[in-house]
Amino acid sequence: AVYTDTIEALLGLYDWSFARRTYALDALAATEGNGYVSADRKFLNGWRYGFSLPGTRLGSALKVLTNPRQPDNPLRTFQVEAGVIYADATPLWATVTVNVDPQLWSPAFRLAGVIGVAAALAVPMAHDKQLAKDLQIEFEGSPEEGGRGGLVGKAISQDVAGAPRAAPLWRDPLTEARLS
């Protein structure tokens, strides 16, 4: 349990390139049992469509897309409730974090995971609070770094360097509106 909790928490800290996956989302049936109001042709929360997020994800969606071939143009108007994405667009895809085989992990992530698990087990196994504190600092850095220093920060830096991302907003909606 300590291993699983530590690795899933580490995977949830950042959008790791090796743990990202895009899924086509399954539409919810437009039935009253799903909160759909036939007379209004909308769900109770006002959105026209509902989509189930994949059950294999860790956390919520990183991006919601109307076209998976345009990942730098995400859908910006949607709502997430209890593992369901509501929107006025269809079909939808979502990019999520998944727990992948450790062979796919980067070496820096693997080392951070090992030290994180060791920190969590230092007190129960070795009854050594100082060792746990030292390993935790090695794992995530000082408290001022907010859990993104130490080996975690190095792993994030290496992931960024190895898989650079495009600017999140490749279009300027204000300029487009003025020019159209």
**Within a 10 A sphere around the Cβ of 62, how many other Cβ atoms?**
16
For 97-108, how does the pLDDT look when each residue is reduced to its tens digit (9 = 90+)?
999 999 999 999
The model's pTM is 0.78
Cβ atoms within 10 A of the Cβ of 166, count? Answer: 8
Among residues 100, 139, 145, which one has the least CA distance to residue 121? 139
109 burial type by CB count under 10 A (0-12 exposed, 13-18 middle, 19+ buried): buried
Which residues are CB-neighbours of 143 under 8 A, at least 6 positions away? none
Contacting residues for 38 by C-beta, under 8 A, at least 6 apart: 30, 32
Confidence of residue 177 (pLDDT cuts 50, 70, 90): confident
